[in-house]
Amino acid sequence: MEKNIREILKGLGENPDREGLLKTPERVAESLKFLTRGYKQDPHEVLNGAIFKEPYDEMVVVKDIEIFSLCEHHLLPFYGSAHVAYIPDGKIVGLSKIPRLVEVFARRLQVQERMTAQIAECLMEALNPRGVGVVIEAYHLCMAMRGVEKQHSLTITSSMLGSFRSTTRVREEFLSLINRRKI
């Protein structure tokens, strides 16, 4: 990877042998490995060991989960917040596992739409709850720094499964809860 990054620097018209760039190929390679570490993580393993039988049957929401990902089209970052909810049907998951699950999918080359659906589908499969809702709000540097150059455009995606899709009241409760002010 480092050899290829060195060639990219040359292609940009830079001298990869100048002092400031000598270690850049190594740093970029390490950075990309870190930013895409989600490929080496199994989302189901992240959840396993933290799924518990519990008769709780009201909505569980974890909101404002920070996300940082890389757009698969331009390899530029996008960042923002994920809001995840589910209605248990006999099983709950440890709360810290929800941000960990989000992180697994965020740390891959992504499009926001797919990531939103992957999080929802994984929770639905692992817990078999009454429903799952995921909303992601993100700023995309591929839109802010290049192309249309719109620095303040926020992209919002949602995935609603089960009762979050079929029952208007459930969807509205979720959206109301994630739009509340912080305490």
Positions annotated as catalytic residues are 71-74, 112, 140, 142
**Cβ distance 127 to 109 under 8 Å?**
no
- The phi, psi pair for 50, rounded to 5°, reads -130, 25
CA distance 27 to 31: 6
DSSP state of 128: -
Q: Which amino acid is at 160?
A: M
DSSP state of 151: T
DSSP 7-41: HHHHHTT--TTSGGGTTHHHHHHHHHHHHTGGGG-
The alpha helices in the chain, defined as continuous H runs, are 2-11, 24-35, 43-47, 97-106, 112-127, 141-144, 163-166, 168-178
